[in-house]
Amino acid sequence: MSANPCFTILECANAGGFRALNFPFHLSTLGKPFGMKRILVSLATFVLICSGCVPLQQYRSKPEICHVTGEDLPVDAQCQIEQTEHYKLGFVELDDQGWLLKDREQLKFVLENLKQEEASSRLIIVAFVHGWKHNASSGDENVKMVRKNLELLSRLEFLASKSEHRSARKVFGVYLGWRGLSSSLNYANNLTFWERKNTAHEVGRGALAEVFVRLDKIRRESQELSPEGEKKTRLIIVGHSFGGAATYSALAPLLMEQVIFPETAGTRIGIGDLTVLVNPAFEASKFAVLRDAALAETFLTNQPVRLAVFTSRKDLATKTAFPIGRSISTVFEDYFSPVQRRADRTAIGHFARFQSHDLKPSEEGKQTEEEGFPSATAKQVLQGKAPPKPLSFGGCELIPRGNVRPGFPIYNIYVDPRIIKNHNDIDNPKFIKFLTAFFVHVLD
């Protein structure tokens, strides 16, 4: 028998069957023979997971535009683009290997429609990558949340255009779907945490990067042709939870190239105008390499925010469960220092050394700078044109820590639970209010 055997279980991989997952262990860790009771518990767990297996499928299979009225679900839930009077929302889906699901026609349909819209009007493009336990089905809670947020953004853009005496930009959302939900059973799906984390990184290393770059190409070409002084097409990328992990896996190599070869980014790093990761579920060690490289480059000063990470102090999924799981999965890893070990077992948002700002609600009765919205001071700081200082806008206070370099384009923000109370509370009205104001201050 091998000195380091593998324990194998089967995980539902797609509609056609299962795939084997091997977990190495040392015999000395067992302590006592693997008895009948343990075998029965393992079999019961296996049956529980498999009985609720959610097959790999394309939810948006029809290259059609469906019109949505009010808060009703679309008449045809399989359409690839939803349209309301306030926004359009396109869907692009990827499989567990990061390939575009089935073929490229879905992406082609969404991009061609987006280009048509951009030809007639400037746009605000919002690409959203969902997290664990979600997908692109019409009734998914993340899909519902994105619909509401796109409508809010559209209304705010309309009000801003009226006050600025200009045409309002249209809002076009792109929902990036993957199989974040692989088990439909409420308790069994908690057992998929680490397998879905690995899948999220696979998705990020696949076609997700292509989608981001193609969206950015539309933005860049539009900005080059836009008349001076006109509000330009903007691209915002948002990733939540494992969607944040997938987004970072897709963008990190591109950002690293821009850091080392700034001429490829036109002296400003970033794919799109702003990337926001909310309660992202990936280890700080993955972020450390990019952060250290960026800090070593002196040209990365006086830059607008390009990557903003928001993590709730009470996000127990990434604060407690994440390090426990990482401690188990990295038990045989070697590290040069305790700091490196801690970084490899701690989610990026909870790693104190990398935190740059704190976000808390404005004190009761304290006036925020909303009457002069957008705040000229906040705009100067967030666009890298003024030194870091405490800012008060959007009903919140954004407070820099002492380690913040002036105009550094990466923010890692620790959020008061009154703004984001837990891992899934990403549509908290207080956070959405602040985040929308944040967009307005960062983007022209």
358 burial via Cβ count (<10 Å: 0-12, 13-18, 19+): middle
Q: 28 vs 24, 33, 273, 325, CA distance in Å?
A: 12, 11, 52, 20
Task: Evaluate whether residue 367 is within a structural domain.
Answer: no
Q: Is a pLDDT exceeding 70 seen at residue 12?
A: no
Task: Evaluate whether residue 157 is within a structural domain.
Answer: yes
CA 104 – CA 207 distance, rounded (Å): 10
Give me the residues paired with residue 361 across strands.
396
314-326: average pLDDT:
92
Helices marked H in 173-314: 193-204, 208-225, 242-260, 284-295
The confidence score (pLDDT) of residue 427 equals 87
Measured torsion, CA atoms of residues 375, 354, 131, 177, in degrees rounded to the nearest 10: 70
Torsions phi, psi for 279 (to 5 deg): 45, 50
Q: Is a pLDDT exceeding 70 seen at residue 373?
A: no
Domain housing 92: 62-356+402-442
User: Under 8 Å CB-to-CB from 225, ≥6 apart: which residues?
Assistant: none
Q: Please tell me whether residues 240 and 119 are part of one structural domain.
A: yes
Tell me how crowded residue 162 is: count the other CB atoms within 10 A of its CB.
Answer: 10
Q: Please tell me whether residues 36 and 169 are part of one structural domain.
A: no
Q: 205 vs 21, 197, 209, 311, 391, CA distance in Å?
A: 20, 13, 7, 23, 36
* SS3 assignment, position 136: coil
Q: Please tell me whether residues 406 and 288 are part of one structural domain.
A: yes
The confidence score (pLDDT) of residue 72 equals 63
Q: Please tell me whether residues 163 and 186 are part of one structural domain.
A: yes
Q: Is a pLDDT exceeding 70 seen at residue 1?
A: no
Task: Evaluate whether residue 364 is within a structural domain.
Answer: no
Pairing state between β 6-14 and 17-24: antiparallel
Q: 320 vs 130, 144, 324, 326, 347, CA distance in Å?
A: 21, 28, 7, 10, 9
Task: Evaluate whether residue 89 is within a structural domain.
Answer: yes
Q: Is a pLDDT exceeding 60 seen at residue 265?
A: no
Name which of 177, 193, 195, 153 is nearest 19 in CA terms.
Answer: 195
Residues 414 and 420 sit within 8 Å (Cβ to Cβ): no
CA 198 – CA 245 distance, rounded (Å): 9
The confidence score (pLDDT) of residue 287 equals 95
Q: Please tell me whether residues 103 and 184 are part of one structural domain.
A: yes
Task: Evaluate whether residue 56 is within a structural domain.
Answer: no
Task: Evaluate whether residue 272 is within a structural domain.
Answer: yes
Q: Please tell me whether residues 410 and 286 are part of one structural domain.
A: yes
CA 126 – CA 107 distance, rounded (Å): 15
* SS3 assignment, position 47: helix
Q: Please tell me whether residues 348 and 205 are part of one structural domain.
A: yes
The confidence score (pLDDT) of residue 183 equals 75
Q: Please tell me whether residues 12 and 157 are part of one structural domain.
A: no
* pTM, full prediction: 0.85
Radius of gyration (Cα) for the chain, nearest Å?
A: 23
- Kindly report the average pLDDT of the chain as a whole number: 84
Tell me how crowded residue 161 is: count the other CB atoms within 10 A of its CB.
Answer: 14
Task: Evaluate whether residue 388 is within a structural domain.
Answer: no
Q: Is a pLDDT exceeding 90 seen at residue 202?
A: yes
Tell me how crowded residue 400 is: count the other CB atoms within 10 A of its CB.
Answer: 19
Q: Is a pLDDT exceeding 60 seen at residue 52?
A: no
Q: Is a pLDDT exceeding 70 seen at residue 266?
A: no
Q: Please tell me whether residues 91 and 226 are part of one structural domain.
A: yes
Q: Please tell me whether residues 91 and 116 are part of one structural domain.
A: yes
| pLDDT tens-place string over residues 94-141 | 999 999 998 899 999 999 999 999 988 899 999 999 999 999 999 999
Tokens of 85: 């009077």
Q: Please tell me whether residues 90 and 181 are part of one structural domain.
A: yes
Q: How many domains does the chain have?
A: 2
The confidence band for 442, taking pLDDT boundaries of 50, 70 and 90, is confident
- Which of 2-11, 342-351, 383-392, 423-432 holds the top average pLDDT? 342-351
11 burial via Cβ count (<10 Å: 0-12, 13-18, 19+): middle
Residues 349 and 309 sit within 8 Å (Cβ to Cβ): yes
Task: Evaluate whether residue 395 is within a structural domain.
Answer: no
| pLDDT tens-place string over residues 160-193 | 888 888 889 999 999 999 998 887 776 667 778 7
Q: Please tell me whether residues 99 and 164 are part of one structural domain.
A: yes
Query: What region, left, alpha or beta, does residue 165 occupy, with left being phi > 0 and alpha being psi -120 to 50 degrees?
Result: left
Tokens of 346: 């701690």
Q: Is a pLDDT exceeding 70 seen at residue 321?
A: yes
Q: Is a pLDDT exceeding 50 seen at residue 249?
A: yes
CA 189 – CA 348 distance, rounded (Å): 24
